Amino acid sequence: MPPPVQLVRPKRHGDARGWFTEVYSVPAFAAMGINCTFVQDNHSYSGPAFTLRGLHFQTPTRGQDKLVRCIRGRIYDVAVDARNGSPTYGQWVGAELSAENGHQLFVPIGFAHGFVTLEENCEVSYKCSDTYAPDNDGGIRWDDPVIGIDWPMPAGIAPKLSAKDAVQPRLAEFNSPFLYDGRPLAPLV
């Protein structure tokens, strides 16, 4: 059984002109155990380095699977297990995604998602399995010490946050509606 959060490394085919890559294919993703239907594509731009967006999710019945990639610059992308009853509840995994490496992170429903930009002028594109639903919009504090995410920011640098992200609840204040599906969070490989 595949792990819930997966680091996807699409193959690049290059020559003197540049490269080509297939970033999404239903059969290829099904072979990895990713069987969702994406219905919305989002694209964000962050000007300043160390802009932090997250940790976000949408609650049932409007949960979102996400397939995240950085198409300009570099980000550190994180998923936090928010599934009630999970032996890895509150644990996190993270990976650097960049335009150069082409890696993607699949973040399923039941995980809080966020990223920090590692340089100026970053663009992030991600697919979602449901459209935005304001009534189901939720989040957890990016700096919750119980979760303990090791954000790769220089000492003394405070991230640029939205007003909403600055006041998200801590994990202990969150009554998770997500259920554990039998697949514990595993290290990214």
Q: Please tell me the predicted confidence (pLDDT) of residue 170.
A: 97
Angle, alpha carbons 122-24-2 (nearest 5°): 100
Q: Coil, strand or helix: which one is 120?
A: coil
* Active-site hit among 76, 103, 113, 126: 126
Is residue 126 among the annotated active site residues?
A: yes
Q: Coil, strand or helix: which one is 136?
A: helix
Q: Please tell me the predicted confidence (pLDDT) of residue 1.
A: 83
Ranges in the chain, pLDDT < 70: none
Count H helices and E strands in the chain, helices first: 2, 14
Is residue 56 among the annotated active site residues?
A: yes
- Condensed to tens digits (0 to 9), the pLDDT of residues 102-116 reads 999 999 999 999 999
Q: What is the pTM of this model?
A: 0.96
Q: What is the mean pLDDT of the chain?
A: 97
- Condensed to tens digits (0 to 9), the pLDDT of residues 156-165 reads 999 999 999 9
Torsions phi, psi for 124 (to 5 deg)? -125, 135
Which residue, among 15, 132, 161, has the nearest Cα to 63 in the 3D structure?
A: 132
* Active-site hit among 13, 45, 56, 132: 56
Q: Please tell me the predicted confidence (pLDDT) of residue 92.
A: 98
Asked whether 58 and 130 are in contact (CB, 8 A), the reply is yes
Torsions phi, psi for 136 (to 5 deg)? -110, 5
Q: Please tell me the predicted confidence (pLDDT) of residue 100.
A: 97
